[in-house]
Chain A
Amino acid sequence: MDLINFEATELRLGLPGSTGEQPEKKSTPSPVNTNKRSSSEMDSSISEKQDSSRSPPPTKVQVVGWPPVRSHRRNILQGKKSESEMGSGIYVKVSMDGAPYLRKVDLKVYKSYGELMKGLQEMFKCIIGLYSEMEGYKSEYAPTYEDKDGDWMLVGDVPWDMFLTSCRRLRIMKSCEVMES
């Protein structure tokens, strides 16, 4: 801990300001205390600004949890905006028969059906296996999706890129039920 001088740390019973040592000089204070240790998200901005760590940081710096607005409130307000700002991720809901709750996946993260299946298997801890035109899915579960027109299709029917644009949500059904529908 760097101390500028002994008086600064001296504990006194006098009224504040009676030392004659005014805080004006602190408007551009020594950077030492904040530079020594900062939360990781600030590291990038701080290391660039060794001399003026107290000046307003670059506006694009994303500090976690700041300003202190509940994420619920923040998301709601920026809801409409964020869809375009979210780096154009394609978020769809995924449900699995028998699982207690829904999840969301960003389809943009995957480059192929194979990767998507892997991701889903990880998420739901199940075996889906690969699709083959002849035999469908050789396992207990079959992934289906709802397309733009509201129809439920088996995942893998269409080329991956087309799937990306038409998939609205995913549902991992039990294979036996797929046969019936």
Chain B
Amino acid sequence: MSLAGLARDAGDAGDYFIPYPDQVLENVLENVLVFLKSRRDRNAVSLVCKSWYRAEAYTRSEVFIGNCYAVAPRRVTKRFARVRSVTVKGKPRFADFSLLPQDWGAHFTPWVAVMATAYRALEKIHLKRMSVTDDDLAVVAHSFPNFKELVLVCCEGFGTGGLAVVVSECRHLRVLELIEDEVFDDEVDWISCFPSDGPSNLESLSFDCVESPINFESLEKLVARSPLLKKLRLNRHVSVQLLYRLLIRAPQLTHLGTGSFSPLEESNNENTRETDYVSAFAACRSIVGLSGFREIAPEYLPAIIPVCANLTSLNLSYANIDAEQLKPVIRHCHKLQVFWVLDSICDEGLQAVAATCKDLRELRVFPIDGAENAEGPVSEVGLLAISLGCRKLQSILYFCQQMTNAAVVAMSKNCPDLVVFRLCIIGRYRPDHVTGEPMDEGFGAIVKNCKKLTRLAVSGLLTDMAFSYIGQYGKLVRTLSVAFAGDSDIGLKYVLEGCTNLQKLEIRDSPFGDSALRSGLHHFSNMRFVWMSSCQVTQEGCLDVARQLPRLVVEVFRRDEEEGGQRGDFVDTLYMYRSLDGPRADAPLFVKIL
């Protein structure tokens, strides 16, 4: 019995045909498995025996593909026939930092083409770092009658024209979230393309990354007829005055992206305006998440004070404000769990955060200025303050110009719940600026004391010692990011031999070569990917790995797209990953697959 075939036959109904199972046991199992959501549990279930494998495959409704090239689309649709939600991730993360050539791949087209016939009842598509075209979006709009949710994160290749097709034809659309995408400005008025007859089902609309202006009148009408709208994230073309008009129409919002948060024209009566905004925010009793502030006029920031007491998430990472401007607001945010901010608030601002936000779980401090200066607005002082005040911290991303081992050690002891520790000392090769020592001991303490750590990014002056610590203590580490660090192959060897749970390894500009690469042969097949750029691996070394691990796809290329992949004696970029279906057919000319 071919389930895929049965599913196809019933395709037009927009739902799946459920066959009568022959075995009672499988029937019972299926009914139980329906409740199993975790994909790790499901993978375990599928390994028990063939019968359980089949039952698990019938009942898996959410498919997660961590690497679009690890498996061919058809293999997925053949195994899982009754899928309602698909998540696909494409490019390696270093693509975000211009380290991956433009036309490398991660095309959504082959996936959507196969799903269009196999998954007629598909409701949700979630893509990250994929190349998506307007045509792909059109296929989505036309193929899935029950389509409800589209979430695109860090994607590119489509424009406002593609969005228009989706919003006009997907009548059941509840969620459209565009997060950090690059969206072409085709000058199509997509906001006006939402069906205007009757109330909409829209629950979440995020377009803060869309650089083109939008038709505000249409947006206002859309918001007015969307009683279920809970999340609204505007782009920077929505001024604070226009935001006000939306706020008073949607007091039921839980998450708001405020747009530019600055006035469009000169406001002639400051006081009245401010009072109005405060009332508008005060009326939004349900807001728990705030973001946006794309071009903030700091004098408007206090308007959000009425909602601060309930805020669990605040993203000020586009707001160039100082400590004095932050303090009146942050001191009300007792419930804050997620806080993203610019280093413009300085150590003093971080101290204010530490004083109030006792429940903080995630902190991200981004740099305003990426130049490698000696001075920076935040330092070990801010890090230490946070570690003392926010004991429940689980995740931190901290950009700074200088750091000390002492502060990092302190954090490792004060914040034992840390799962994610990403410290980026912008000055490359910078040692502890007080002792002159490498940053080995700090990171060593993190892996040693933070027993739940799964993700680590290192920086500063680091010797092989740091990697020896990571290999020795970082047993739960799944993701490791290394840049401009280490002395020799030994460093990488420590990691590959010690970090038994390593899944994703991304390294740039570090002196690791073939010998180190070889020491990971036993583990590469258990990993999602390995990225090494501007290191010291040679063509022969990579070829060796490719020969010994036939299930691994070993890609070699140059960032500037010159063919051959070599830069002098060494390989410019090595990107390798396991795949069930061999090397991809869509590799551009400059990518060499060994």
Contact = CB atoms under 8 A, between A and B. Distances in A.
Interface of A: 1, 3, 8-9, 11, 15-17, 23-24, 26-27, 29, 33-34, 36-40, 42, 54-57, 59-61, 63-74, 76-77, 93, 95, 100-102
A100 B186 contact: yes
Contacts of A34: 511
A61 B427 CA distance: 11
Contact of B431 (A27, A57, A66, A68): A27
Contact of A65 (B99, B371, B463): B99
B426 A23 contact: no
B211 to A, nearest CB: 9
Dominant SS among interface residues on chain B = loop
Interface string B534-576: 1110000000000000000000000100000001111000000
Interface stretch (B218-226, B275-283, B377-385, B437-445): B437-445
Closest 7 CB pairs of A and B: A65-B97, A39-B534, A33-B511, A101-B184, A54-B429, A26-B463, A67-B426
A1 B534 contact: no
Nearest to A34: B511
A1 B514 CA distance: 10
A38 B428 CA distance: 14
Nearest to A3: B488
Nearest to B513: A1
Interface stretch (B197-205, B411-419, B464-472): B464-472
Interface string B120-138: 0000000000000010000
Given A27-B461, A72-B180, A56 B437 contact: no
A74 B370 contact: yes
B185 A102 contact: yes
Given A1-B515, A27-B437, A76-B318, A37 B570 contact: yes
A26 to B, nearest CB: 5
B399 A57 contact: no
B182 interface: yes
Contacts of A42: 509
Contact of A8 (B182, B428, B440, B488): B488
Given A40-B567, A100-B134, A69 B428 contact: no
B490 interface: yes
A138 B446 CA distance: 70
Given A1-B515, A76-B318, A101-B159, 18 more contacts: A1-B488, A9-B489, A11-B490, A15-B472, A27-B431, A27-B461, A36-B511, A37-B569, A39-B534, A39-B567, A40-B567, A56-B374, A56-B427, A67-B367, A68-B96, A68-B424, A71-B96, A73-B318
B370 A67 contact: yes
Interface in B94-148: 94, 96-99, 134
Interface of B: 94, 96-99, 134, 154, 159, 161, 180, 182, 184-187, 209, 236, 294, 317-318, 320, 342, 366-368, 370-374, 399, 424, 426-431, 436-438, 440, 444, 461, 463-465, 468-469, 472, 481, 483, 487-490, 493, 508-509, 511, 513, 515, 533-536, 559, 567-570
A66 B469 contact: no
A64 B99 CA distance: 7
A77 B399 CA distance: 15
Contacts of A36: 511, 536
Contact of A66 (B428, B481, B569): B428
A16 B490 contact: no
Contacts of B438: 23, 26-27
A26 B161 CA distance: 56
Nearest to A29: B487
Contacts of B368: 77
Contacts of B182: 72
User: Which of the listed residues B317, B367, B534 has the most CB atoms from chain A within 10 Å of its own CB?
Assistant: B534
A16 B493 contact: no
A36 B567 CA distance: 12
A173 B493 CA distance: 60
Contacts of A69: 97, 366-367, 370, 399
Nearest to B96: A70
Contact of A56 (B372, B511, B534): B372
A77 B318 contact: yes
Contacts of A76: 236, 294, 318
B209 A72 contact: yes
A177 B372 CA distance: 53
Contacts of A66: 97, 370, 426, 428, 483
Contacts of B472: 15-16
12 contacts: A1-B515, A27-B461, A29-B487, A38-B534, A57-B372, A68-B96, A69-B370, A73-B366, A77-B318, A93-B185, A101-B159, A102-B186
A60 B180 CA distance: 28
B3 to A, nearest CB: 38
Contact of A71 (B98, B465, B559): B98
Contacts of B440: 23
Given A61-B372, A77-B368, A93-B185, A100 B161 contact: yes
A76 to B, nearest CB: 6
A1 B438 CA distance: 22
Contacts of A27: 431, 436-438, 461
Contacts of B317: 73
A100 B137 CA distance: 14
Contacts of B430: 56
Contact of B483 (A54, A57, A61, A68): A68
A130 B501 CA distance: 64
A73 B180 CA distance: 8
Contacts of B461: 26-27, 54
A47 to B, nearest CB: 13
Contact of A23 (B186, B371, B463, B569): B463
A163 B209 CA distance: 32
Contacts of A100: 134, 159, 161, 186
User: Which of the listed residues A9, A68, A70 has the most CB atoms from chain B within 10 Å of its own CB?
Assistant: A68
B429 A95 contact: no
Contacts of B508: 39, 65
A77 B368 CA distance: 7
A26 B154 CA distance: 39
A42 B209 CA distance: 32
Contacts of B535: 37
A42 to B, nearest CB: 7
Contacts of B161: 100-101
A169 B534 CA distance: 40
Contacts of A39: 508-509, 533-534, 567
A65 B490 CA distance: 26
Contacts of A8: 464, 487-488, 490
